A and B are shown apart, each in its own frame.
Chain A
Amino acid sequence: EVQVVESGGTLIQPGRSLRLSCTASGFPIGDYAVTWVHQAPGKGLKFVCLITSKADGGTTEYAASVRGRFTISRDESVNIAYLQMNSLKTEDTGVYYCNRWGHWGRGTLVTVSS
């Protein structure tokens, strides 16, 4: 069964760094594009970033609001995709979902507050 599970969310101060994990099962993570999506409290879904499959070159793409602060990567040896979040801002607060096309996790909550 294809499954993705996010982890790593926590309460953290503005300006600090945090790494989220997206643990995949049922498929090799390098064979598919993986996307991170953010939902701020009471708001809609917003694209954060993606990494394409190995076959498509493993290229990355970022929303303008996170470019230069966030980095997506993956480790095929442990079948995990990561979201490295630096210089966090209060507006980064919310649930972060990882997804492989058609398969979403339940999300992990990041709260950026002093």
Chain B
Amino acid sequence: EIVLTQSPGTLSLSPGERATLSCRASQVVSNNYLAWYQHQPGQPPRLLVYGASTRATGIPDRFSGSGSGTDFTLTISRLEPEDFAVYYCQQYGNSPQTFGQGTKVEI
């Protein structure tokens, strides 16, 4: 199965700053079927980006995804207070689908 490694494990930033999260796959992700989720405690995961770079419905444009093959990035251009959460990448192009271990974005 494809192993997704996210870095860094924790990102300590302030509101208004830029966040850059990395997700590296152990093999090429088919069709760049790579998604990013935001997960707040007690809430369901929220789909942010799919297909590596397509924002999901209703997601603010400060969130952007990029990358292809084995290296992917989620960028949050200017952090808002509600953006402090755990972020997961997920590949769904190869069976079984797999998740990264998460990056915590904290104040």
* Chain A interface (Cβ < 8 Å from any Cβ of B): 35, 37, 44-47, 50, 61-64, 97, 99, 101-102, 104-107
Which residues 8-66 of B have a CB within 8 angstroms of A?
Answer: 37, 39, 42-47, 50, 56-57
Q: Which of B42, B45, B50, B57 has the most CB of A within 10 A?
A: B45
- B45 A45 Cβ-Cβ under 8 A: yes
- B→A interface (CB under 8 Å): 37, 39, 42-47, 50, 56-57, 86, 88, 90, 95-102
Q: Is the CB of A45 within 8 A of B99?
A: yes
Select which of B44, B57, B95 is within 8 A of A61 by beta carbon. Answer: B95
Across the two chains, which residue of chain A brings its CB closest to B42?
Answer: A106
- Give the secondary structure class of A's interface: strand
Partner of B88, one of A45, A99, A101, A106: A45
Report A-chain residues with C-beta under 8 Å of the C-beta of B86.
Answer: 44
Q: Are the CB atoms of A105 and B44 closer together than 8 Å? A: yes
- Nearest CB on A from B88, distance (A): 6
Residue of A nearest to B88 (CB): A45
Complex: A74 Cα to B15 Cα, angstroms = 44
Docked pose: A35 CA to B54 CA in angstroms? 21
* A15 shortest CB reach to chain B, Å: 25
